[in-house]
Amino acid sequence: MTIPQPVRKQSFAPYLVPLLVGGLVAVALGVYGRAHTPTGYAVGLSGFSGTLAMKAWLATGSFVLALVQIFSALAMYGKLPGVQAPSWTGTLHRWSGRVAFLLSVPVAFHCLYALGAQFDTTRVLVHSLLGTFFYGVFVAKMLSLPKRDLPGWALPVLGGLAFTALTGLWLTSSFWFFTTFGVTF
C-alpha cells in the first residue's frame, strides 16, 4: 500500500513579478513622457547631420541586431532546419542583445526627454505606445532570464513581443524618416 503524496501547488508569484515590474516600467515611462514638459532638444552624437538622423540610424542598428537575436535564438533552440548552431551562438545572442539595447538608450532618452509621449497623429501615438511597451517587455524578459523553472514558451514569447515592438518602433520612426527625408546621415 502506498501513501499518496500531497499535491504540491506551484506558485505563480515568481512568474508574475517580472511581468508586474515590466508593466510598471511601461506605465512609468508613459506617465513621465506625458507629464513632463518636453525640452525640444537633447544631446546628440557627433557624426550625424541631426538628431532625427541619429535616432533613425541608431534604431536601425538596434533593429538589425534584433534580427541577429531572432536568428541566433532559433539556431540555439534547433528551430532552423539543417542548421547546427556553432558553439559561439550563445555569446553572439547575448552580445547582440546588449549592443541593441545600448543603441536604443540615446533614442529613447531623446524621445522621452526632448519630445515626450505625443498622441497628435496616429504614427506618433503608435510609436509612443510601442516605445513604452518595448521597455516594459524588455524588463520583464531580463527579469525572467535567471528563472530556470519557467515554462519553455515564456522566454520566446517575451522575446517575440520585444522584437515585435521594436519592429513597430523601427517602422514608425526610422523607416518613416528614411522614406520621408531620404537615407542621410
Could you tell me if residue 44 is inside a domain? no
Q: Give percent of the chain with pLDDT exceeding 90.
A: 68
Could you tell me if residue 45 is inside a domain? no
For residue 100, the enclosing domain spans 50-181
Could you tell me if residue 57 is inside a domain? yes
Whether the CB-CB separation of 130 and 168 falls below 8 Å is answered with yes
| Total count of domains within the chain | 1
**Interacting residues of 89 by C-beta distance below 8 A, sequence separation 6+:** 72, 75, 76
Could you tell me if residue 1 is inside a domain? no
Could you tell me if residue 175 is inside a domain? yes
What's the pTM value of the predicted model, to 2 decimals? 0.88
Burial bucket for residue 22 (CB in 10 Å: 0-12, 13-18, 19+): buried
Could you tell me if residue 176 is inside a domain? yes
| Residue 105 CB coordination number (10 Å) | 12
Tell me 78's DSSP state. Answer: T
Phi and psi of 96, rounded to 5°?
Answer: -65, -35
Could you tell me if residue 30 is inside a domain? no
Whether the CB-CB separation of 66 and 163 falls below 8 Å is answered with yes
Tens-place pLDDT, residues 103-149: 999 999 999 988 888 888 999 999 999 999 999 999 999 999 988 88
Q: Supply the Cα-derived Rg of the chain in whole angstroms.
A: 20
Could you tell me if residue 33 is inside a domain? no
Q: Choose from 7-11, 111-115, 118-122, 166-170 the range with maximum mean pLDDT.
A: 166-170
Tens-place pLDDT, residues 44-85: 777 888 888 999 999 999 999 999 999 999 999 999 999 899
Among residues 112, 103, 121, 111, the alpha carbon closest in space to that of 58 is found at 103
Cell numbers at 128, concatenated:
509612443
